Structure 1
Amino acid sequence: MKPKALLLSLLSLLLLSPLMAQKLPIFNGKDLSGWHVDVPDQDENPNISPSFVVKDGLLISMGTPQGHLITDDEYENYRITAEYRFPEATGNCGILVHASTPRSLYKMFPKSIEVQMYHENAGDFWCIVENIEVDNMEERRGPKEEWGVTEGKKRRILNLTDGSENTPGLWNRMVIECLGDKVKVWVNGDLVNEGYNATATKGQVAVQAEGAKVEFRKLDLEPITELSK
């Protein structure tokens, strides 16, 4: 290799090394290393049953007590790949991107943009003291004068398609891409949401415990430089 080419190759490795150092996967299949729990009910009862456990290589959100499992690290320009299922009754859960200030909404939810996993609503956006825009906003969010990012406001932005989820009990694959102020979401290969002008572009990633038991067999994160089409 010529000296100039070698130098360029070494420079490329140096520039990429911070990204390569990120934990891939962010769930290691063994324990909750790299994560911390924020469950308000633990404040007064630290011995309460855990909201998140690892069993047989799966990350399990028990649904209750309600709260969040949050990465210790912050991320920017990334793709999350999650494989999940509701092993029992279907219900509510979500993956939060660009999470920051804890307990910013209802003294429970961290400031973030939620990508909904609620059964038959996977891919909806919920604005949690952060905002994001989509095409056809009034059709998908309701009257403009009622929009907002705090309690009592219309924070839900409907996804683009129904019917992308698999039969309850089967595994689903959700891909979330965050690049700059844009967020795109796929469920089982279908593009289900696409937003832009997000008010946050980096932060932590969080998984919810919000009433239903959810199993994750994969939760990966990787840096990206462009959005998939």
Structure 2
Amino acid sequence: MSITLLANPSCSSTAEENDWISLFNGKDFDDWTVKFHHHDVGDNYAETFRVVDGNLQVNYDGYQKFENRYGHLFYNQPYGSYHFSLEYRFTDQWMEDAPDYTYRNSGIMFHSQDPKTILKEQDWPISVEFQLLAGLGDGKPRPTGNMCSPGTEVIFEGKMDPRHCIDSSSDTFEWDQWVKADLIVFGDSLVIHLINGDTVLRYTHPQIGGGVANNYDTAIKEDGKMLQEGFIAIQAEGQGIEFREIKIKILE
């Protein structure tokens, strides 16, 4: 890792790296694995994850009630050091029996446990979350590109931060606006969040610890274990959203 890259992480061309690899072909998600709370691995309940007009969509038109069916769609290959990128926008779907905080809220999980190790009644994977939010229409700031930590912890501004979520410095975006989100990860050292090309959050040393995740296999949750790699997943927690241009670049 070069000093130049640390000084300006968005200039990833300064590091030795491979070309961009598309993780979504606009037709199917055969290279991905679904896991929903209350359901077995591979059960895409009510076709929540689907492809619509070439975009990967979280869609709730097949639901009567949400009933805490927190879901995640995992890419089948783990990664350690990389630049991950996608574009997202929310839809006008929201399950009213979902918790209030899920409104115009989604996320990208990374350094996650393998979906095959997630128990049927486990709600969230042990992972780090690049949280995606949109404004609530009340004129109040609601940044996107935040960090949340289900079953994990990070070092922020030089110390372990006890908060479950750490806000970024991003602007607030309308729910139906396409937003570009980039995640730069250097194993278990540095993590950088970018929104529309601007660096909005940095933290270090992602590791297992803390709370929030529930009903996991206790053998998986090794508190203090540094997270050098893991799976990437797209979240579904009651709010409709769609994604496009999902790709990754491996960082040497």
Aligned-pair CA distance for 1:136 = 6.9
- Over aligned residues, Cα RMSD in angstroms? 2.7
d(CA) in 2 for partners of 1:218, 1:47: 22
48-57 vs 61-70, greater mean Cα deviation: 61-70
Cα contact 1:96–1:115 (8 A) shared by 2: yes
String of CA shifts for 1:69-90, please: whole Å, max 9, x gaps. 0111111111111101013256
Per the alignment, residue 39 of structure 1 pairs with 36
1:30 alignment partner in structure 2: 27
User: What's the counterpart of residue 174 of structure 1?
Assistant: 181
Identify the match of residue 156 of structure 1 among 148, 161, 165.
165
Aligned partners of 1:184 and 1:48: how far apart in 2?
Answer: 33
Aligned to 1:79: 83
1:42 partner SS: coil
Cα offset, 1:62, TM superposition: 2.2
CA distance in 2, matches of 1:122, 1:62: 21
1:127 to 131, 149, 154: 149
The AA in structure 2 aligned to 1:130 is T
Change in CA separation of 1:47 and 1:57 when aligned onto 2, cut-off 3 Å:
closer
With over 3 angstroms needed to count, the CA separation of the structure-2 counterparts of 1:101 and 1:130, relative to structure 1, is: farther
Q: Distance in 2 between matches of 1:40 and 1:212?
A: 15
Aligned equivalents of 1:210, 1:203: Cα separation in 2: 21
Contact 1:98 1:204 in 2 (8 A): yes
Q: What is the TM-score of this pair, normalised by structure 2?
A: 0.67
Amino acid at match of 1:124: N
**1:115 aligned residue:** 130
Would the alpha carbon gap of residues 166 and 47 (structure 1) be closer, same or farther in structure 2, given more than 3 Å must change? closer
1:95 corresponds to which of 97, 105, 108? 108
Q: Is the 8 A contact 1:186 1:192 kept in 2?
A: yes
3-state SS of paired residue (1:183): strand
Deviation track 1:5-44 (CA, whole Å, cap 9, x = no partner) reads xxxxxxxxxxx99x67xx821111110121010012334x
**Is the CA contact (8 Å cut-off) linking 1:91 and 1:211 kept in structure 2?**
no
| Residue equivalent to 1:187 | 195
- Residue aligned with 1:41, SS: coil
Q: What code does the residue aligned with 2:90 have?
A: F
Inter-CA distance 67–100: structure 2 relative to 1 (3 Å threshold): same
Q: 2-side partners of 1:222 and 1:101: how far apart? A: 21
Deviation at 1:137, TM superposition (A): 5.7
Contact 2:86–2:180 at 8 Å: present in 1 too? Answer: yes
Shift of 1:91: 1.1
Counterparts of 2:198 and 2:27 in 1: how far apart (Å)? 30
Paired amino acid for 1:60:
Q
Aligned residues with identical type, % of pairs = 26
Give the Å deviation of 1:122: 1.3
User: Residue 81 of structure 1 contacts residue 218 of structure 1 at CA under 8 Å; is this kept in 2?
Assistant: yes
Rg larger for: 1
- Counterpart of 2:157 in 1: which secondary structure? coil
Which structure dedicates a bigger proportion of its chain to strand? 2
**Secondary structure at the residue paired with 2:105?**
coil
By how many angstroms is 1:101 displaced?
4.8
Q: Is the 8 A contact 1:54 1:60 kept in 2?
A: yes
Mapped partners of 1:47, 1:210: distance in 2 = 13
1:219 aligns with 2:246: yes
Under a length normalisation based on structure 1, what TM-score does the superposition of the two structures give? 0.73
The question of whether the paired residues in 2 share the 8 Å contact of 1:78 and 1:221 is answered with yes
